[in-house]
Amino acid sequence: MSLRSLWNTFRVASVSITVTFVVIGLGLLIASLAERETLAQPAPRVDALAESTDPCVKCHRRESPGIVAQYGTSDMAASGVGCMDCHGVPADYPEAIVHEGATMLSSPTPARCGACHETQVAQFNASRHSLPAYVAYAGAQDLSPSHLALYEAVEEGTFAPSQARNQLYALEGAAITQFACATCHNVGLPRADGSVGRCQNCHLRHTFSLEQARKPETCNACHIGPDHPQWEIYQESPHGISYLTGGHTWNWEADPGTLTTADIPAATCATCHISGFGASESTHDVGDRLAWYLFAPLSTRRPGWETNLAQMQGVCIACHNRTFIDTFYSAADAATEAVNDWVAESDAIVAPLQEVGLLTDEPFDQPIDFAYFELWHHWGRTAKFGVWMQGPDYVQWHGAYEILSDLADLREMAADLHGDQAR
Ligand code: HEC
Ligand code: HEC
Ligand code: HEC
Ligand code: HEC
Ligand code: HEC
Ligand code: HEC
Ligand code: HEC
Ligand code: HEC
């Protein structure tokens, strides 16, 4: 074989190898695009009520077509759950109305859901989303005896270290607070039939979609703003960035209890706090995985915190290794203590003023009341949440820096007040 024909054979061989690789490569690309396609475009939803002869459905398809269209494509409608399963009640039921010959509730309560979802309702009742959320603004004085018993049975529920916000609630008045405190905290509203809460705060009616409940936007209805900026923090965390840039390809409708990293490759609020994931089972008790009372001025450990911590880490372990998790937790514990020290310092500045009567008895009437409150309620909490949920800007510029600035203000205001007294 001449050198030239050897070269030609080599060329033919290398071209065909290249062609083979290109073909395999294209094949893989097409396959992966097709897979993305199936993930990005879930099967079109079927209207399970299309042929329904139920009078509620027939008339409401005319009167309020949106409700019937939304409910028709839900998994519950597909399973044969009908309008009356939630709305229908006996005539003597609390708040029952008569409507088109039926007795029913305009606003079905968790007692109705509980007929089929006993576990979720029991877990929800045992959480701070339940009565503790309501008591946080309205107080416990008007609860019925059975609601009071339910409230007192919530293990982490009666912990209430600061009454400052209740003073704001009274100060602002109902005209304002029905659109403020109540809108968020009524997630734990006591209901006339003895049940508690508004499941529809997270499960928007009438789709009751898992995708909607699992997405972090659902939580941002309430977990937002200077005193609990979990939504803002999440958006700047690596988990949030993964969600915001790739979430449209995730498998949001996986059956409860079957979620893996193949469905959800980075954590969302629900993954860490609610969903069954990794080694942890799903729970509607959002306190089940928390070790600290972070919302408190001075954070302390929760009852049973070691078990809770193991539940949370059982989620992390699906995506991170043990050393990574342990290193993160020790550093975050230390940061929590550091914020505690700053808040204790603010207490040490203000306590002597209270002792010698330099602060009025009225809440929120002196500039120092606001600085003292914001130091822990806004900046202290924000710094801690930023640490635990990976939001560096919130730890720093909306957290630690603001605390230092408020401490300087507090010292000066305190000195002025002492000075005025000396004069
Ligand atoms: C013949 C038509 C018709 C039928 C049958 C009917 N509805 Fe209605 N429904 C209406 C209309 C119209 C309204 C709005 C009434 C209004 O705004 O005052 C309404 C209102 C409601 C409301 C809101 C009530 C409130 O107080 O806000 C609910 C819940 C409801 N319907 C559920 C049902 C259920 C469940 C059934 C089956 C038992 C049913 N409807 C049967 C026409 C109908
Ligand atoms: C899984 C439980 C459930 C089922 C099933 C259900 N609803 Fe509802 N419905 C609710 C809840 C919860 C509300 C919210 C009330 C509130 O926010 O106070 C509601 C509210 C309503 C309202 C009044 C509020 C509005 O937006 O006008 C109407 C009307 C209504 N439902 C009609 C229907 C009809 C018709 C069906 C059957 C096609 C149906 N519902 C099936 C739970 C259900
Ligand atoms: C009569 C029984 C019944 C009642 C009442 C009922 N549900 Fe359901 N629900 C079901 C069944 C059955 C499924 C399972 C559907 C499936 O797995 O495909 C379900 C599934 C769900 C899901 C998961 C949806 C999904 O895509 O898998 C949510 C969320 C839900 N229900 C919320 C509620 C809420 C909130 C209420 C009360 C307002 C309620 N349900 C009342 C029977 C009921
Ligand atoms: C935007 C929704 C929203 C509004 C408005 C709101 N809160 Fe809250 N509140 C929350 C959330 C979310 C938490 C939980 C923070 C955490 O655990 O990190 C909370 C925590 C609290 C707590 C601490 C927990 C406890 O039970 O001791 C109190 C007290 C409280 N809020 C009272 C009020 C009062 C009073 C108002 C009105 C003056 C109000 N809130 C307005 C959402 C809200
Ligand atoms: C704080 C938001 C929130 C509230 C309030 C809430 N849920 Fe859920 N719920 C979720 C999330 C998130 C999921 C999806 C869990 C997962 O990924 O498996 C879910 C899932 C469910 C499911 C599907 C089965 C399961 O356990 O995953 C049912 C049924 C359900 N919820 C019922 C209820 C009922 C009934 C209430 C009221 C007592 C309620 N939920 C209140 C967030 C909430
Ligand atoms: C309608 C408003 C609302 C929505 C929506 C909501 N929350 Fe909450 N959440 C609250 C309030 C109010 C509290 C504080 C209750 C208290 O401590 O008094 C709270 C507290 C919490 C806590 C702390 C519980 C504890 O034991 O201290 C966690 C964790 C939490 N929510 C997670 C979530 C997640 C995850 C979602 C979305 C799937 C969500 N929440 C949706 C209002 C809401
Ligand atoms: C990567 C997991 C992860 C994600 C994602 C996440 N959290 Fe958290 N969250 C945590 C951890 C860890 C803590 C602190 C746990 C402890 O106390 O031991 C925490 C604390 C909280 C608290 C404070 C409770 C208290 O004691 O005051 C609330 C409220 C909360 N998260 C809500 C949310 C919401 C809402 C989102 C989404 C916007 C979210 N979280 C996203 C892991 C997560
Ligand atoms: C479903 C997968 C998943 C779960 C569950 C999960 N993470 Fe992550 N986490 C990720 C991904 C993806 C990244 C981004 C990795 C990178 O930066 O390359 C990340 C990054 C992080 C980082 C790095 C932050 C930074 O600024 O570099 C920390 C810290 C972290 N996670 C803590 C946790 C903790 C604590 C938990 C449990 C409470 C948890 N994660 C649960 C997927 C997950």
The reported pLDDT for the residue numbered 11 is: 54
Q: Which pLDDT value is given to residue 20?
A: 47
Share of the chain above pLDDT 90, in %: 86
pLDDT band, very low/low/confident/very high, at 294 (cuts 50, 70, 90): very high
List alpha helices for 88-204, DSSP H: 110-114, 118-125, 131-138, 145-152, 164-172, 174-177, 181-185
Q: What is the pLDDT of residues 240-253, one digit of tens each?
A: 999 999 999 999 99
Give the span between the Cα atoms of 325 and 283, in whole angstroms: 22
| Statement: residue 21 has pLDDT above 60 | no
Burial class (CB in 10 A: 0-12, 13-18, 19+), 363: middle
- The residues spanned by each domain of the chain are 52-108, 116-201, 202-220+229-320, 325-422
Q: Residue 373 has which token pair?
A: 């409150």
Q: Are 77 and 60 in contact (CB under 8 A)?
A: no
* Lookup result for tokens 């094949």: 27
Closest residue by CA, ligand 1 atom 6: 56
Positive or negative: CA dihedral 290, 293, 299, 301:
negative
Which residue has better confidence, 281 or 8? 281
Q: How far apart are the first and last CA of the chain?
A: 112
Q: How many CB atoms lie within 10 A of CB 377?
A: 20
Pocket of ligand 3 (CB under 6 A): 75-76, 79, 81, 85-86, 108, 112-113, 115-117, 199, 203, 208, 210, 213
71 lines ligand 2 (CB under 6 A): yes
Residue 45: its pLDDT value, please? Answer: 79
Q: pLDDT (tens digit, 9 = 90+) per residue, 114-161? A: 999 999 999 999 999 999 999 999 999 999 999 999 999 999 999 998
CA 125 to centroid of ligand 7, rounded, Å: 19
Residue 195, φ and ψ in degrees, nearest 5: -85, 180
pLDDT tens column, 334-366: 999 999 999 999 999 999 999 999 999 899 999
pLDDT at 176 exceeding the cut of 80:
yes
For residue 180 and ligand 4, the question of a CB distance below 6 A is answered with: yes
Here the tokens at position 364 are 């929120």
Give residues with Cβ within 8 angstroms of 269, minimum separation 6: 216, 218, 219, 223, 230, 234
Q: Under a CB-based contact definition with an 8 Å cutoff, are residues 387 and 292 in contact?
A: no
Cα torsion angle, 346, 349, 353, 358, sign: negative
Output the pLDDT for position 29: 47
pLDDT per residue as tens digits for the range 185-196: 999 999 999 999
pLDDT at 58: 96
What phi, psi does 190 have (nearest 5°)?
A: -70, 135
Ligand 5 binding pocket (C-beta < 6 A) is 110, 113, 117, 120-121, 124, 129, 187, 197, 199, 201-203, 210, 213-214, 256, 259, 270, 274-276, 282, 284
Give the number of the atom of ligand 2 that is nearest the alpha carbon of residue 72. Answer: 38
Distance CA 254, CA 277 (A): 12
In a 10 Å sphere around its CB, with 0-12 CB exposed, 13-18 middle and 19+ buried, how is residue 115 labelled?
Answer: exposed
> Model confidence over 39-93: pLDDT tens digits?
555 567 789 999 999 999 999 999 999 999 999 999 999 999 999 999 999 999 9
Q: What phi and psi values does residue 104 have, to the nearest 5 degrees? A: -155, 170
Confidence bin at 4 (pLDDT 50/70/90): low
Paired tokens of 14: 């290398």
Q: What is the pLDDT of residues 406-423, one digit of tens each?
A: 999 999 999 999 988 777
> Which element (helix H / strand E) includes 104?
strand 102-104
User: Which tens digits make up the pLDDT trace of 200-222?
Assistant: 999 999 999 999 999 999 999 99
**330: Cβ contacts below 8 Å, ≥ 6 apart:** none
Chain-centroid distance of CA 18 in Å reads 52
**Is the model's pLDDT at 290 over the cut of 50?**
yes
User: Mean pLDDT score of the chain, rounded to an integer?
Assistant: 92
User: Tokens 């300087």 appear where?
Assistant: 408
In terms of Cα–Cα distance, which of 109, 128, 122 is closest to 198? 109
Rounded-to-integer distance, Cα 350 and Cα 366, Å: 13
Q: What share of the chain is helix, strand, coil (3-state, %, to 5)?
A: 60, 5, 40
Could you tell me the distance, in angstroms and rounded to a whole number, from the CA of residue 191 to the centre of ligand 1? 21
pLDDT at 306 over 80: yes
Mutate which of 99, 104, 107 to test ligand 1's pocket (most atoms within 8 Å of Cβ)? Answer: 99
* pLDDT at residue 31 tops 60: no
Q: By percentage, how much of the chain surpasses pLDDT 70?
A: 90
pTM of the predicted model as reported, rounded to 2 decimal places: 0.93
Nearest residue (by CA) to ligand 6, atom 16, is 133
